[in-house]
Amino acid sequence: MKEVRKQVEETKLFDKVVLATVSQNPHLREFQTQITESLSMKIEEQSIQTRAAKLSARLKHEKNILLMLDDLWTRLELTDIGIILGGESGNTCKVIITSRSLDVCNSMGTTKNIDVKVLSKKDSLELFRQEVGDGDFDAQLEMSEEIVNECDGLPSYCYSCKNLKK
């Protein structure tokens, strides 16, 4: 998703591009913080509802924004966070959701779903080798293969697991 974000930013199709990772156990406050920090916004309030209202007000003032919500495991009610789609103020807020589950996407009313295949074991090993460096990879090939197997062909896991070897 970071690479997709970078490419979208280079196209200048959106005034702002926000990437926030939800993960398996979403904590709404942390998720709101990821979004508000990307918008250079600071919210001191502790109430999730108050934070959602402030985030919603800010998003209404953005003219053209793309929100990239990465790694959803369960349905997420966007209004609980402060993301309200279909506003009347003339702004454009688009949302991209990534999830392992098509059911999650469908439950959130997505309009277009794209099935992205996982990497082959060979490609996963190559990506992991690029991330950790040839020396570390070759010296501990068996451990590298075990780590890659745990990544299930997901590039984001290959990127994040590189620190396990250090």
pLDDT digits (tens, 9 = 90+) for 100-130: 889 999 999 888 998 888 778 888 778 777 7
The three-state (H, E, C) secondary structure of 117-158, written as one string:
CCCCHHHHHHHHHHHHCHHHHHHCHHHHHHHHHHCCCCHHHH
pTM of the model: 0.73
Query: What is the separation of C-alpha 70 from the centre of its chain, rounded to a whole number of angstroms?
Result: 2
pLDDT for the residue numbered 2:
79
| Per-residue pLDDT, 66 | 92
| Residue 108, Cβ density class (10 Å: 0-12 exposed, 13-18 middle, ≥19 buried) | middle
Report pLDDT for 84: 81
Cα 103-107-111 angle, rounded to 5 deg: 95
The per-residue pLDDT for 155 is 64
For 46, other C-beta atoms within 10 Å of its C-beta total 8
Q: Along the 166 residues of the chain, how does pLDDT read in single tens digits?
A: 777 888 889 999 899 999 998 877 778 888 899 999 999 998 888 799 999 999 998 888 888 899 999 888 889 889 899 988 766 666 678 899 988 889 999 999 888 998 888 778 888 778 777 777 766 656 677 777 777 777 777 666 655 655 554 4
pLDDT at 159: 58
